[in-house]
Amino acid sequence: MKLFHNQWVLLTFGLIGAGLLFTGCSTYTVEYRKRPEYYANWGGDVPDRVVREDGTVVLYNLDPDEGDPEASVEPPRSPWIEKEDGSIEIDARTPEEMLAVILQCLQSKRWDVMWDQVLAEQTRLAYDSQAEGRDAFKIDMERKRVTMARTINRMIAGLGTHEVVMDSAGPNTLRIRLWPQTVREAKLKIKELILVEEGFGIRLAAVK
């Protein structure tokens, strides 16, 4: 879940390049990536090699200067993918990308996208345990929409500064919090988010 930029559109996160490997009659894609510094904050082992569901092999380098010098550099990717049929696909692979996705959901009131692709499974189950379930979540988001957006905007603006702290909150769990003085001065009601790793992506577990 160096490297923080104030504008999420620049979040390439150390992507060095991608190439195609051929084995017999099969073809698969290999992506070479620098190992982001935030990995040290996750409470869990980080593999050097990951195979995604689509067969893409991601190789992380211990040395950020290592990589395939012959690989071509790809343009920045977006974690918010709009398809031709109007549906949205979320592919947030870093905490910074997930912050941008959550903010987009809040601004566009895409509670369906947030429920299906942003919330952690444990959080959805907690809402489902209530009589209203998904409706309770929508009501909660309508009530917290402005306060959450203010906090996340401040987090995105403060990435890479002392105002934003990322630390482990347990195995495969990351806490993103604002400096207490920032919370007081900006009079923010929400001061931290809890993210968890699920599958090959990141999900929102809680806001506090």
Q: What's the pLDDT at 4?
A: 31
Distance CA 95, CA 207 (A): 14
Under 8 Å CB-to-CB from 141, ≥6 apart: which residues?
106, 111, 114, 148
With beta carbons less than 8 A apart as the criterion, state whether 157 and 114 touch. no
The pLDDT of residue 77: 73
Main-chain dihedrals φ then ψ at residue 127, nearest 5 degrees: -70, -40
pLDDT of amino acid 78: 86
Q: Which strand (E) or helix (H) includes residue 177?
A: strand 173-178
Q: What are the residues facing 198 on neighbouring strands?
A: 201
Handedness of CA 22, 28, 33, 35 (dihedral sign): negative
In the chain, what are the helix, strand and coil shares in percent, each to the nearest 5? 35, 30, 35
Report d(CA 80, CA 113) in Å as an integer.
Answer: 10
Phi first, then psi, for residue 152 (nearest 5°) are: -65, -40
The low-confidence residues of the chain, meaning pLDDT below 70, are: 1-76
- pTM of the predicted model as reported, rounded to 2 decimal places: 0.67
- Chain-centroid distance, C-alpha 69: 27
Task: Determine the pLDDT at residue 6.
Answer: 32
Helices and strands of the chain, counted as H and E runs: 5, 10
